[in-house]
Structure 1
């Protein structure tokens, strides 16, 4: 069964944005008298001097838990090729852990939590799902704005960079893949126009704020309140659509040969009846002998065990398919300890006494929770009471694991950039930006291709509802906090001559979709996809050319 939460499968974006911004904010907030970069690394000629440099220079200190530069320049100084290959393999594994954590733990927790709270699919799809996927973006933006003087610039670029990738690249790839598969998909026009127009209006308001250069507390409150209007409109449209669909279903319920699906975003008539029980079997699929298949499964299990077990024993799971009382008891004992370890490492040296007290408290809490879980849960079926607590615990721990993985992923990407001599600006524009949004691309493509009649509708909704949430709530709350701290004076927006350029490209992409789709009968095709990808390539070319020094003017001023 397809639910509105299936669109968050392979969703590694959840905490990557907050990790990046916290890293930059902490760096900027630190001692400015010390070196904060590792730029002189390639000025060292000898391998031993490079090893000494990365171990003594503060700018080469890893942001994660592993010192990749030390491993590469010290442990593999004689065979750097092997060291680089191992780092690339670890990069792939980190992306796998990030995607798998979201698909196996985060999405089921969000889905079951919404069912427990009895939220309708339309309302949950525009509230709980964006909140789960974008809550860390909100926190990251607030942290960036309130931590340093440069944090506002980082927060604005982070949110806008993710929005332009999702609304152009993801939608473009979806359209081209659907055309390639010769699949006819007609989007629900009213809901599509609602989302795109709201995003355009929001970007217009943001552009005005940036041009003015300051924002007051009242304006910031009005800006963030726009999302309430959006939710109320979604609620109203869903109410009207539900009444209409009920009337249609009642009129057609006696017709056994007519099958109607009611998706999240509207009614889609399918000439071909789609039965959930049907399974398309590839004629070329080879039958693998049982013994060989068993050996392959055992080998895969052994390979995945080191990455599966740590998450399984720290993330509470109470679904029927994955139910295990021993795992649940272990997870509720170890989860608080893991959170304490992360807090202790991220908050710096808290002192021996403070650390011991914290560990004693969380260990006591874990033992108490484990004892209660062991005493009051069945060994043959998952708990039937306090479901909100269990699903919320699984949600929080899956976010925690995503944070840890993203922290390590960003550290590795920065280290690889230093190894190959890539400038930080290009790393941010390419590797980090794409890594930040690769989850949205994977999730929405998978949802559109294999999510049934509703899959493309849900995927397209996520391509516009997600950026809208991040801009209105993420930047909106950031504006409220900084305006409040400066009250009665207004908050001065950090000067960045290229923010307007980014917003301009984003609006061009949205207008292209808003014009092309209705003209094409709301069908996704190569015209929409090719145009969006062309606009993004132009945007990327200008950014990279400017970063490399080939372009020294502001495009908007030039035009």
Structure 2
């Protein structure tokens, strides 16, 4: 979900709403912890009468009618603990007084997670990727096939990896999230873009389009082989993952042969469209006001504006402050030496905390050693940052380590947020009795892909023919990256854990055949229609793609 395209004042109000919501949830959770100790108990004898055996999952909670007994069930069953940092089933059945309020709390937290995830990507991850591309002097082709999909698809990649490695039998959440996102982007987004610009007669490059679609089709055929076998060994998973580097090689070779044709092409931002009006100062901002009669050029902010801005800044701290003190930003506009020093100091500690939560066995001595080491490293890095940086601006020398640190910490925060998001969706599946693959196919896939709809549609509408080319290319290169890198890396890690045995593919094979089949159908429709229309993006392409997507969605939701 991408909120970066919301207008500034709307984004401000929405951010304030989420910060108030977060403060409400924190206060509610703290108060409820104390009240639960006396009001929300159940005897062991009473619980044993309800369920004599421990379930392998938490689905048995729906068989209990009494709300108090449900609370005792989720507290006593290890399968109800979940993989995240919060126990959402306990919050729903024990902390909240009734189901309606429980749904409200969890849905509100879901919106907050999606917002912080999107905001982390747009405010921290993408700028670090763009700066790294500039410092490393990557060509637009290399950057477009590596950093661009990484910036747009990081959420899907981490969702897939987490669901395969941390969620037991819920690997189908990540599998359906990747495939659902790929289907949404290649059918729904391309369809909307085609219909929106159908009257402009815009065409896309034929060779690039056919290359991307054929490579995507070959990838899906390989995935069908994996699904048909039912398991994948480490070496086949590694080959599947490595196919993306072959794709990059093909793109580079084609780029070398066509390099002379790229002269004079309008430059488009690496990771999205920038509005021409962005950055213009409005009179309503209160920063400056032009008055032709009096000749005044600047009217300084009033005290009311100053204190109101300070108040709003404080309200925004719950969502922004934890990331601001751990993710370094080295741009001229947002540089701050105190924040940079805190990032250098606290980032190693956050990494240590994350590492200590990933293992299944908790070793106190090992955890203590990791924390002490991270604190020592943090003190050294913080001291270096304090001594060798200036208040006036970001460092000119040794800029690469700062950018690499921002890139790494952006990934860490994305991983933490997606891990919690996947855990929450699994809890929703247990509460509602919905297959978690459906949630991965819809909620998680839509949430992670709605930003692609906004950014690609914006590029197509405002960027002319070149913008449309970038938008359509991104609609195929992005899902290809998510499938080969996100799903491929997940299969590599999962099969490595089972080595030398193969990793059994989770989920219902019939459902996987269905989504891959519809996805191939959408790609074939585009591959046939576009060349027939001389590569013009028109309504026939868009309507056909939307029909394929909604037909699949209807069949899947009806069957449950």
TM-score by length of 1: 0.75
2:110 is equivalent to residue 91 of structure 1: yes
Aligned-pair distance for 1:322?
A: 0.5
2:85 is equivalent to residue 43 of structure 1: no
The 5 A counterparts of 1:252-263 are: 261=266
Contact 1:186 1:523 in 2 (8 A): yes
**Partners in 2 of 1:152 and 1:91 — Cα distance?**
20
| Residue in 2 that maps onto 1:367 | 379
Change (3 A) 1:216 1:387: same
| Residue in 1 that maps onto 2:28 | none
Contact 1:202 1:472 in 2 (8 A): yes
**Partners in 2 of 1:435 and 1:523 — Cα distance?**
29
**Partners in 2 of 1:388 and 1:428 — Cα distance?**
36
2:514 is equivalent to residue 501 of structure 1: yes
Aligned-pair distance for 1:381?
A: 1.2
| Residue in 2 that maps onto 1:533 | 546
Aligned-pair distance for 1:145?
A: 7.0
| Residue in 2 that maps onto 1:73 | 93
Change (3 A) 1:404 1:276: closer
Change (3 A) 1:194 1:423: closer
Aligned-pair distance for 1:171?
A: 1.8
**Partners in 2 of 1:116 and 1:215 — Cα distance?**
39
Contact 1:97 1:307 in 2 (8 A): yes
Contact 1:199 1:468 in 2 (8 A): yes
2:73 is equivalent to residue 53 of structure 1: yes
Q: Secondary structure at the match of 2:357?
A: helix
The 5 A counterparts of 1:43-442 are: 43-77=63-97, 80-131=99-150, 134=153, 156-178=175-197, 185-208=202-225, 210-211=227-228, 223-246=240-263, 249=264, 261=266, 297-298=309-310, 300-348=312-360, 350-442=362-454
| Residue in 2 that maps onto 1:551 | none
**Partners in 1 of 2:120 and 2:490 — Cα distance?**
28
**Partners in 2 of 1:373 and 1:529 — Cα distance?**
52
Relative to structure 2, which stretch is displaced further, 49-58 or 104-113?
A: 49-58
Contact 2:202 2:537 in 1 (8 A): yes
TM-align CA RMSD: 4.0
The 5 A counterparts of 1:24-39 are: 34-39=54-59
**Partners in 1 of 2:3 and 2:104 — Cα distance?**
31
**Partners in 1 of 2:267 and 2:102 — Cα distance?**
53
Change (3 A) 1:299 1:128: same
Task: Please list the CA deviations of residues 420-465 of structure 1 after superposition, one character each: whole Å capped at 9, or x if unmatched.
Answer: 4545454344323333433433443444445676443323222111
2:529 is equivalent to residue 516 of structure 1: yes
**Partners in 1 of 2:438 and 2:234 — Cα distance?**
35
Aligned-pair distance for 1:369?
A: 0.2
**Partners in 2 of 1:67 and 1:146 — Cα distance?**
19
| Residue in 1 that maps onto 2:555 | 542
Change (3 A) 1:189 1:413: same
**Partners in 2 of 1:67 and 1:479 — Cα distance?**
27
Contact 2:129 2:151 in 1 (8 A): yes
Task: Please list the CA deviations of residues 126-154 of structure 1 after superposition, one character each: whole Å capped at 9, or x if unmatched.
Answer: 02333455578667767877899968867
Task: Please list the CA deviations of residues 365-386 of structure 1 after superposition, one character each: whole Å capped at 9, or x if unmatched.
Answer: 0000000111111111101122
**Number of residue pairs aligned between Structure 1 and Structure 2:** 494
